[in-house]
Amino acid sequence: QRRALASPAGSTIASLLLMLSFAVLGASTALLAGASAPAGANGVVRPRAAVLLAEAAATTDEQKASGISWDSHQYVDQAPESLIRDDDLQGANQDMRRRFEENCRRAQNAICKAVSELDGAEFREDVWTRPGGGGGISRVLCNGNVFEKAGCSLSVVYGSMPQDALQSATSRGADRAKGYAPGERVPFFACGLSSVMHPRNPMAPTMHFNYRYFETDGGVWWFGGGSDITPAYLFEEDIAHFHQTYKDVCDTHDPEYYARFKKWADEYFTIKHRGETRGLGGIFFDDQNDRDPEAIFAFSKECLDSVVPAYLPLVAKHKDDSFTQQQKEWQLMRRGRYVEFNLVYDRGTVFGLKTGGRIESILMSLPETARWEYSHEPAAGSPEAEIMDAFKTPREWAK
């Protein structure tokens, strides 16, 4: 089983990361799709490499302007009591900032403890701060007994963004630059807890969650988040359990939440160039500020508290299932799809790269091994074909 992970079939993705993450930094969708690079002043089309280098340099300049960059963090031996700085800003909800961070840290402790108990291995912890405030706590379990890689990372970010970049980081195109003149940079605060867990056994699903809170110094605030599941093989009762857990949470807070957020997840996690979803969904929401912040905070808190009961029983159920080398290779191919989505479409990844986030934390979500086969098609009637149908045609799982 472990040999299969290290075999040529389970090829590492280090070189792919270097290429794709570099492309994501500045390359437009047209360039990634193979369109011609823009012509220079003399009408000569510049090589794509030159365009990418120029755009990567622009991204570096943007990070300097934002006040944070990939290497601006400072490692510390122990996490401070809080990563929230004392701001005396009109309109800043300091109480919500502190309570959201406290809840993320509480949930991080509880989730990592439960995962360690199931796996038998411990998480490595890295703690860092930034001179301008904020920082993070990353915990990663690698080469475990049950999980090939499991990460759970807390981030607190203070920075500034151009208005167009801020708009692209949200979903509905809402006005997040309220109070600022056109072209003026928007200072922001963000706090979130993000996790991805990749089990060894191909019968056990991968799971991702992220819950976050944003504020601008102009007084605009919103919540976002979600939990989703990505199996390689379909066990309908498992997917129904995951979805039902989150539907029950949604129904407690708003009877319309689940239908909206389940549809949102199906749409958001679509790999457009493949015509399929990354996994089998869950819930996803963003730009939530349509009611009292206390109500949305309570919902976010209960969603975080549901991670362990929604997911870990499924891993415990399948962690010792037998599997073949072919099934392992299929899992690695599905992980390849995971990589494609995260590096090309995921707003959190792009946001972290553009705002100078800590690279190890941003790419924590990626599996250690993945696989790409040329023009691979599952055999008709096979378990692989069965789940591909679910990836291409989203289904209803909860009652």
> For residue 206, what are the β-bridge partners?
230
56-74 as b/e: b if 16+ CB within 10 A? eeebeebbeebbbbbebbe
Q: Return all residues near 359 (Cβ < 8 A) that are at least 6 apart.
A: 70
Residue 223 tokens read as: 């919540």
| SS3 of residue 150 by DSSP | strand
Distances (CA, A) of 246 to 241, 303, 384: 9, 7, 26
Residues 208, 241, 243, 318: which is the catalytic one?
208
Cα 342 from Cα 348, distance rounded (Å): 9
> For residue 118, what are the β-bridge partners?
none
Task: Give Cα 110 distance to the centre of its chain.
Answer: 20
* DSSP code string of 229-261: EE-SS--HHHHHHHHHHHHHHHHHH-TTHHHHH
Distances (CA, A) of 227 to 17, 37, 198, 271, 319: 24, 38, 14, 17, 21
- Can 318 be counted among the known catalytic residues? no
Euclidean distance between the first and the last CA atom of the chain, given in angstroms as a whole number: 37
* DSSP code string of 270-290: EETTTTEESSS-EEEEEEE-S
Cβ–Cβ under 8 Å, residues 372 and 336: yes
Cα 183 from Cα 203, distance rounded (Å): 50
Cα 19 from Cα 25, distance rounded (Å): 10
Cα 118 from Cα 315, distance rounded (Å): 9
The C-alpha angle 126, 3, 118, rounded to 5 degrees, equals: 50
Residues annotated as catalytic are 208
